[in-house]
Chain A
Amino acid sequence: MSGFAHYLPDIWAAIIAFAILTYVVLDGFDLGIGILFPFLGSEENRTRAMNSVAPVWDGNETWLVMGGGGLLAVFPLAYGIILNALYVPIIIMLLSLAFRGVAFEFRGKTRRWQKLWDKAFFGGSLIATLAQGAILGGLLRGPEVTGRTFTGGPFDWVSWFSLGTALALVAGYVMLGSAWLVIKTSHGLYDLARRVGQVSLIVTLGFIGLASLATPFLHPEYYHRWFQWPGVIWSAVVPLLLMVAGFGYWTAIRSDRGVVAYLSGIAIFILCFMGLGLSIFPYIVPASITIREASTTAMSQGFILVGAAIFLPIILAYTAYAYWVFRGKTSEHEHHY
């Protein structure tokens, strides 16, 4: 195998990781706003909050399709096993996303049922987030695999650990959503978002601490990674970096620098993500299937890498443009047709 082809699985693992991370930090803020929805005080505030994400949520959610579709494209074995193993939480996530997705369109179409679609937006966002967190927790514990088949049961993912990751993700998304509201709104909503942001930051960091203490004991392999050279450096440095990012978020959200707060929130997610990578790599289905074992042929990975190299930069460019078109504070009156 030629030199480049040898690294295709690693390149693709990085691209899929990037897609999932992008999904989390983008859809994260609009899911976070959904979770905050009943607590925004007035009808006017809810409308304004929803309008601030209406033009972009669809693009945000496309990264979830990229994560799933990408997995099928380059690691089909992992796609099959992971989705089979996490059947229940994934279907719960998909149905919840459907509820909150249609709420964007439906809530403005009716007065009598507007409250119902408000609830759908909140409930869908909350349950989808919990499900995503539980998916992460369930995956980390390592599904039972025999040969090329998932051989565990439908509720193997349920554990205290996955409950913790589920709650952690709720706090994390609220943290991102608060920063977004600080960027996009003013007055009452903005003050509320500042307060919620501070609380959610503390809760998020608390959960990260707990999850970090629990993760090494999920699996001997993780323990080994975290507490032996060179992983131990990581274990020592990351809490420090998390403190720096947390401090950045804290000071920024208290002083109307929403963009800095949002970027600090992203930094927190990136650090957690790297911790995940350290625990799992080179496995893609933890403790059973490696990236290389799950890889399709170099011909498949190479073929779609050409597309990714061409289209991902273009996608990032026009996504950035779409955000730029709708830059600035959102008024209550905007972004309806």
Chain B
Amino acid sequence: MSIFDIPTLDLARAQFAFVVSAHIVFPAFSIGTASYLMVLEALRMITGKEVFLRIFEFWKHIFAVVFGMGVVSGVVMSYEFGLNFAHFSDKAGPVIGPLMGYEVMTAFFLEAGFLGIMLFGRNRVNKWIYMFAVTMVAFGTLLSAFWILSVNSWMQTPAGFAMNDVGQFIPKNWWEVIFNPSLPYRFVHMVLAAYLTTALVVAGVGAWHHIKGTADDAVRTMFRMAVAMILVTAPIQIFAGDQHGLNTLEHQPAKIAAMEGHWETSKGAGLILFGIPNPSQERTDYKIEVPYASSLILTHSLEGEVPGLGDFPANERPPMTIVFFTFRIMVGLGFAFAAIGLWGGWLMLRKRLHEPGLFHKVALVFAPGGFLAIIMGWFTTEFGRQPYTVYGHFTTAESVSNLSHGAAWAALIGFVVVYAFLFGSGTFYLLRLMRRGPESAEPVENTPQRAGGVAGAMLANDVTTEKEEAHA
């Protein structure tokens, strides 16, 4: 089979998966950064310390770029459902549509409305209004996460609905729809992921400046804040993830079977640390198992029963290989983050956090780790939901639009090429901003007014820029 024989359905899925994976990186980072900026601005107001302003201005520049990329990839998302999954939109729209409508009205407008003031308005409004604007942006990002996760959770664990005579899902009880069984777990897990991811980035940037010997007091302060945040958040995230898994066991046992790598339902099941799922033989090869541990984790009993994928009809099984590996990468990263937090906490206790060493190199390597963990986690849960869009009720195959094969191919290639170019460039600019550090992002009050584009003032040293570009 050549790649041109790929069914249109899979092209539509690939396009959706690609644009949503590219998108999630930005809101995850901006949820964390917006909250961080809110904390920094509050600390500055309370303590009056100038260092918080310098950290604020530094991360504000980065936030602006990330948010910009989040906006353009987010506008795409609001149309993706109809473009590729017109029948899903028609059938599930009465339930999920109003939730997305609330997301737009309560969150998107709030963020966009106050973003301009936050980025450009410090000298145009008083400090209380400025603080309010920063808070509204942060609040907007969280509200947005709430609504869209409510939509996703409903697709995973649908509740509070009935079917009408044209086959549409219609709401019966909005409370049950919005607060469907998996929402609380998913919301907590995702917001923690956003915070942890941001803390890892902040820590990584701080670590880099420690290694390069450019760690001023702003860098040291933000580094301490980030390490403390990882120390606190990572273990909570592991606990939250475990709870989320128990919820999935209750509502989507096939997904759990795929995550765990079990083919046969059994009592006292071992925890497969590593293996290679072999779907054609319905077994997992090369297993490295911890006896009884799977039952213990999932049922809190050594003899508890754990589902196996083989007990589900073949046409109701998610693809085990993808789910199995993405889940392990996510969990592995999660434990690595917790270890980094503990290590940093120990160094802090010993007052050696600011001495450049192995810890700083490790923190630098793991700076983008949160993004990888988030994408792996979403792959686990989304592939684990297959073959359904609305779990147990409506299949992905039924959901797809009536697309021409050529148009679907062209669109997929178009998105990949354009996103690679735009977001690749954006990542390059972000890394350059991060490399310059807070030193270059002078507080607004002290910045001489100069020309050079929207973010012209960020080129605090034009000579440096030219030099850096020559190296790039």
Contact = CB atoms under 8 A, between A and B. Distances in A.
A47 B451 contact: yes
Contacts of A321: 113
B105 A66 contact: yes
A104 B453 CA distance: 8
A104 B100 contact: no
B314 interface: no
Nearest to B419: A98
Interface in A291-337: 296-297, 299-300, 303-304, 307-308, 311-312, 315, 318-319, 321-322, 325-326, 332-337
Interface in A4-45: 44
Nearest to A61: B75
Contacts of A47: 451-453, 456
Contact of A102 (B68, B81, B120, B444): B68
Contacts of B453: 47, 50-51, 107-109, 114, 336
A282 B411 CA distance: 32
A77 B93 CA distance: 8
Contacts of B419: 98
B98 A337 contact: no
A154 B403 CA distance: 8
A303 B451 contact: no
Contacts of B92: 76
A99 B419 CA distance: 9
A189 interface: no
A74 interface: yes
Please indicate which of the listed interface residues B73, B74, B85, B453 has the most CB atoms of chain A within 10 Å of its own CB. Answer: B453
B336 to A, nearest CB: 32
Given A68-B78, A79-B89, A81-B86, A337 B452 contact: no
Contact of B120 (A149, A296, A318, A326): A326
Please indicate which of the listed interface residues B96, B97, B166, B411 has the most CB atoms of chain A within 10 Å of its own CB. Answer: B97
A159 interface: no
B124 A325 contact: yes
A83 B83 contact: yes
Given A72-B97, A76-B97, A105-B64, A55 B119 contact: yes
B407 A59 contact: no
Contact of B117 (A149, A297, A322): A322
A149 B402 CA distance: 7
Contacts of B432: 109
B414 A91 contact: yes
Interface size range of chain A in the complex = 35 or more
A211 interface: no
A84 B104 contact: no
Interface string B314-357: 00000000000000000000000000000000000000000000
A223 interface: no
Nearest to B136: A318
Contacts of B404: 153-154
Contacts of A74: 97-98, 101
B164 interface: yes
Contact of B82 (A65, A84, A307, A337): A84
Interface string A265-300: 000000000000000000000000000000011011
B314 to A, nearest CB: 28
B170 A312 contact: no
A105 B426 contact: yes
A231 interface: no
B69 interface: yes
Contact of A68 (B82, B95, B166, B433): B82
Interface stretch (B187-195, B268-276, B458-466): B458-466
A111 B469 contact: yes
Given A87-B407, A98-B75, A102-B426, 6 more contacts: A61-B71, A68-B78, A79-B81, A111-B465, A299-B94, A308-B101
3 pairs of A and B residues whose beta carbons are closest in the complex: A76-B93, A108-B453, A83-B82
Interface of A: 44, 47, 50-51, 54-56, 58-59, 61-62, 64-66, 68-74, 76-77, 79-84, 87-88, 90-91, 94-95, 97-99, 101-102, 104-114, 148-151, 153-154, 296-297, 299-300, 303-304, 307-308, 311-312, 315, 318-319, 321-322, 325-326, 332-337
27 contacts: A55-B119, A69-B78, A69-B101, A72-B82, A72-B93, A77-B93, A79-B89, A84-B403, A87-B403, A95-B418, A101-B68, A101-B75, A102-B69, A104-B68, A105-B64, A105-B426, A109-B429, A109-B455, A150-B402, A296-B94, A299-B170, A303-B174, A311-B106, A315-B105, A319-B109, A336-B456, A337-B457
